[in-house]
Amino acid sequence: MTAPSASSSSRRKAFLVVAAIVVVALLAGAAYGLWYVFLRPSGPAPVGDATLPPVPSTSISGTPLPSGGLDGVWNVDTSIGSFSDFSDSFVGYRVQEQLANIGGNIAVGRTPDVSGSLTLSGTSVTAVTITADLTSLKSDDDRRDGQLARQGIQTAQFPTATFVLGSPIDLGAIPAQGQAIQVTANGSLTLHGVTKDVAIPLTATLDDSTIVITGSLSITFADYGIEKPTSFSVLSVADQGTMELQLFFSHA
């Protein structure tokens, strides 16, 4: 029987080393997937969900309403709450993605850099303009945030999203303190350089001297010319996502 040559033995050892590396990599990937699915903290709850952190009472001014009542201009107040627990003003997204070695995941990104105002006259909201700085969108993964500058909503090229009210919102009556009312804001949303007419369902509450507004809107990416982002770790992204907002307004 012929003894194996030195070169054959070397090739066999090299093969075993490569095989061992592959096995370790697969086990590491599986372990990471299990950690991600079972041990990783869940993302923030949808806007308006009862599990959202309450707005700290110390964050709301507690000052009385102006003598003229609710009439006038109300500005987005970014001094209320904290972005660390999403008890502040923010605009963001929520989208289903499929990750390699992990499976389904809900990606959530939010930006606290929001400005704008609404105008109240009697029982009607007569004007609303809101602008969100999308370049500061923050999710649980810096890699995802970095990709959005070049892919998807392409924040490097389209840094802001804007909503402008198209017709007055009739409240019917001045809401009582703490009373949540449901309204719909019809207007134009500009995203990714494309402007579309939208109807956003909103919940509005008068909390002391602050107006709190939350809402969400389904966004079909193709409607705004948005191509779904891709990367080695993202196998697929849903065709649509959800824009969500939580805004606090103080009287000007």
**Residue with more model confidence, 48 or 245:** 245
Joined together, the tokens standing for residue 136 give 């500061």
pLDDT at site 4: 55
pTM for this structure? 0.78
> For residue 130, what are the β-bridge partners?
116, 163
pLDDT at site 7: 62
Strands 210-220 and 194-207: antiparallel
Q: Considering the chain, what percentage of its residues have pLDDT values greater than 70?
A: 71
Confidence of residue 144 (pLDDT cuts 50, 70, 90): confident
**Residue with more model confidence, 142 or 189:** 189
> For residue 182, what are the β-bridge partners?
203
Most confident of 12-26, 51-65, 189-203: 189-203
Residue 69's Cα: distance from chain center in Å? 33
> Measured between alpha carbons, how far is residue 15 from residues 5, 11, 19, 27, 64 in Å?
15, 6, 6, 18, 77
Can you tell me the distance from the alpha carbon of 199 to that of 2, in angstroms, rounded to the nearest whole number? Answer: 81
pLDDT at 142 over 80: yes
pLDDT tens, 211-251?
999 999 999 999 999 997 776 555 567 889 999 999 999 99
In the predicted model, what is the mean pLDDT of the chain?
Answer: 80
